[in-house]
A and B are shown apart, each in its own frame.
Chain A
Amino acid sequence: MPPREGTYGMLAEFDTPSDLVRAAQQARLDGWRRMDCYTPYPVEEAAEAIGFHRNKVPLVTLVGGLMGLTAMFSMETWVSVLAYPLNIAGRPTYSWPAFIVPAYEWTILFAGLSAAFGMLALNGLPTLYHPLFNAPNFRDGATTDKFFLCLEALDPKFDLVATRAYLASFSPVSVVEVEY
């Protein structure tokens, strides 16, 4: 369990995405691992810079889609062959071409729900409270027009004084300490 009191990390604010990407790349090169960038829109280069290349959303979606496909197709087969066989214009009870359409729809339904809720779950959302919201300048900028780099206290390299000076070397707008 991470500590719930003390310092969460050191937060540097930048005006442009380029400054953020440059700082994040350098921090990664200097051995920082527990860090994150906060941007008002997706900045792929920043994710690359902190070493976040892959995510599991596609896998979750695939599994969800296959579940939907299997669930609907087996239910249709079970209903039409075993539970309630009906003679519809002499067609076989196992009319698999006709079963494709609902199975197809459920593949999409389950895959889509998995993509959306899987993404939220992997992101750990909903999390209505987060220490970053304590930073005085975070909420004013992170969702509007500012770019943040946070070096977290859990990183072994973290030191209150040295990290502040280190971040200041990237000439950010400001560096603030974020408390839990």
Chain B
Amino acid sequence: MATSDLKPKDSDLNRRIDPATGEYRVIAPGQTFKSVTEKIVRIVLTPDTPLGWFALFGVGGAGATMLLVAVTWLFLRGTGIWGITQPVAWGFAIINFVWWIGIGHAGTLISAILLLFKQGWRNSINRFAEAMTIFAVVCAGMFPLIHIGRPWLGYWMLPYPNSMNVWPQFRSPLLWDVFAVSTYATISVVFWYIGMVPDFGTMRDRAQSQFAQYFYGLLSLGWRGSVRHWMRYETSSLLLAGLATPLVLSVHTVISFDFAVAILPGWHTTIFPPYFVAGAIYSGFAMVLTLAIPLRKFYHLEGLVTERHIDNMGKVMLATGFIVAYGYGMEAFMAWYSASHWEAFMFWNRVFGPMGWSYWVLITCNLAIPLTTLWSRKLRTNIAFMFFISIVVNTGMWFERFVIIVTSLYRDFLPSSWGTYRATKWDYAIYVGTLGLFTALFLLFVRFLPMIPMSEIRMMLPGAKITPKAAAKAGD
């Protein structure tokens, strides 16, 4: 595809292209075990935090504070401060829940599915993609909890022996959600932490200050790099990846059941599970790009997070974008083919009704802009353009959830019960607040934890090759 784009035009580009494959190199040439380690460790073990970090952390922290204020007010006054009402009883909270958890999915995809497929290029980006997953799940998990009205009774969703002699109802997708999301959060955290243990060992050994040595020493659990440990560790990572893969597919499937099991036109379709999962990965990769592009620039990681990564992520987005497009097409097709009056009206109303503008924002952001441009390698390796696309797709995927929830609900079977939906300032405060919380958590991660898995990068360096001659010599 577009091989003419590939012709090296100058020596700099030539350097970045691997002659063996004709693709961009995964890692820039000239790196050694030492240089990679130093580069990644120095970001964390430096006494000088960059000023830009403080500035951004200030912005993120302000957002998180706004979230705290908004949630406090919500707990004092109840969900009436939001725009939700009849007939649109699922507003921003559920939109944001689905959006955030979808974003998290790309982290698991990168860390688990691409590991199983032996996609070496993922090694540079999997750690911060996993961190993104966890912080996204933190933001996502908050929404159903604060949406239940009396969040202090949230534990009623768990099956435990209680004095009321009441047990949860296991036939409801809403309860399945409790188990799917809690398992997803737990496994993501475990996978992330286990992945960092050897790197904590490196941090412990490279740290100068006593405090850092103790801090990373405790986190490393005494990791010493024994090959016996490494082999068990590798098995365990593979198994965790193998478990996280069906898990990530199941989580958004279960979330789509929340909708698909209802008999509401616009929700009651069998296309939802695959289409939700593809959409999740689509938006998740967009978010990885949104984070990776400024990070590699700011911390000068262009040698580790290369054009190849950006290019590959663009390809994944192109593929999942088309699955999403197929989902939209099928919705339209089924609205006609089902010959159901309600389905047809719902679709007409979704596209041309008073809130039809949201559908067109969605089509523009998810289909029109990315799916026409991501074909070009030139554009896929244009960093500024990819940053722009990532923002566009994130916006589009947010509107997808808005369209699914609001435009399916606001005009139901009886015209007398039709209504509309308008978010209040508290809805926006909580949404923007979670963006702030996410930013703040992510910045803390970047500052205090190794954001690129050093041990996995080392495996990809030329020095890691076992020369057959040396190995054969031992036999004689």
Residues of A near any B CB (own CB < 8 A): 16-19, 21-22, 25-26, 29, 36-47, 49-50, 52, 55, 57-58, 61, 65, 72, 75-76, 79-80, 83-84, 86, 88, 91, 95, 98-99, 101-102, 104-106, 108-109, 111-113, 115-116, 118-120, 122-123, 125-130, 132-133, 138-140, 142-145
What are 23 A-B contacts defined by CB distance under 8 Å?
A16-B463, A22-B471, A36-B227, A36-B228, A40-B202, A40-B455, A50-B228, A55-B235, A65-B243, A88-B169, A105-B176, A105-B180, A108-B244, A115-B240, A115-B243, A119-B233, A126-B221, A143-B201, A143-B223, A144-B34, A144-B202, A144-B205, A145-B458
Instruction: With A55-B231, A120-B221, A139-B205 given, name 19 new contacts (CB 8 A).
Output: A21-B466, A29-B474, A40-B458, A42-B455, A43-B466, A46-B227, A47-B230, A52-B227, A57-B232, A57-B236, A83-B167, A101-B250, A102-B170, A116-B194, A119-B233, A119-B235, A125-B221, A144-B37, A145-B34
Check: B183 CB closer than 8 A to any chain A CB.
yes
Q: Which residues of B sit under 8 angstroms from A26, Cβ to Cβ?
A: 474
Query: Are A41 and B456 CB-contacts (below 8 A) given A80-B170, A112-B191?
Result: yes
- B198 located at the interface, meaning its Cβ lies under 8 Å from any Cβ of chain A in the complex: yes
Across the two chains, which residue of chain A brings its CB closest to B251? Answer: A105
Q: Considering the chains assembled together, what is the distance between the CA atoms of A88 and B174 in angstroms?
A: 14
Bound-state CA distance A120–B118 (Å) is 24
Closest partner residue, chain B, to A144 (CB atom): B37
Secondary structure type dominating chain A contacts: helix
Chain A contacts for B228, CB-based, 8 A: 36, 47, 50, 52, 55, 123
Interface string of B319-351 (1 = CB under 8 A from A): 000000000000000000000000000000000
Establish whether residues B470 and A116, one from each chain, have CB atoms under 8 Å apart when the complex forms.
no
Which of B168, B229, B236, B463 is packed against the most chain A CB atoms within 10 Å? B236
The reply to whether A39 and B227 form a contact with Cβ atoms under 8 Å apart is yes
Shortest Cβ distance from B458 into A: residue: A41
Given A40-B202, A52-B227, A84-B165, residue A57 in contact with residue B235 (CB < 8 A): yes
B447 proximal to A (CB < 8 A): no
List residues of chain A with CB within 8 A of the CB of B224.
Answer: 38, 130, 132-133, 138, 142-143
Contact B183 A108 (CB under 8 A): yes
Set of chain A residues within 8 Å of B250, measured between Cβ atoms: 101, 104-105, 108
The 3 lowest CB-CB distance pairs between A and B, nearest first, are: A145-B33, A119-B236, A126-B221
| Contact residue among A61, A101, A112, A144 (Cβ-Cβ distance under 8 Å from B244) | A112
Tally inter-chain residue pairs, CB-CB below 8 A. Answer: 230
B159: A residues at CB distance < 8 A: 75, 79
Chain A CB within 8 A of B247 CB: yes
Q: Which residues of A have CB within 8 Å of B464?
A: 17, 41, 43
A118 vs B257: C-alpha distance in the bound complex, in angstroms? 33
Cβ-defined partner of B234 (8 Å) among A21, A42, A84, A120: A42
- Contact across chains for A45 and B222 when beta carbons are under 8 A apart: no
Contacts of A72 in B (CB 8 A): 179
Q: Is B235 in contact with A45, judged by CB distance below 8 angstroms? A: no
A130→B459 CA distance, assembly (Å): 25
Contact A41 B455 (CB under 8 A): yes
The reply to whether B187 and A108 contact each other, CB–CB distance below 8 Å, is yes
Contact B231–A144 (Cβ < 8 Å): no
Check B19 for interface membership: any CB of A closer than 8 A: no
Q: Which residue of B lies closest to A119 (CB)?
A: B236
Contact: A115 with B239, CB < 8 Å?
yes
Q: Which residues of A contact B201 (CB under 8 A)?
A: 143
Residues of B within 8 A of A46 (CB): 227
Instruction: Return chain B residues, CB-CB under 8 Å to A95.
Output: 170-171
A17 to B230, CA, bound (A): 14
Question: Across the interface, do A113 and B186 meet the contact criterion of CB distance under 8 Å?
Answer: yes
* Contact present for A61 and B239 (CB under 8 Å): yes
Complex contacts, B229 vs chain A, CB 8 Å: 123, 125
Nearest CB in chain A: distance from B175 CB, A: 7
Contacts of B236 in A (CB 8 A): 57, 61, 115-116, 118-119
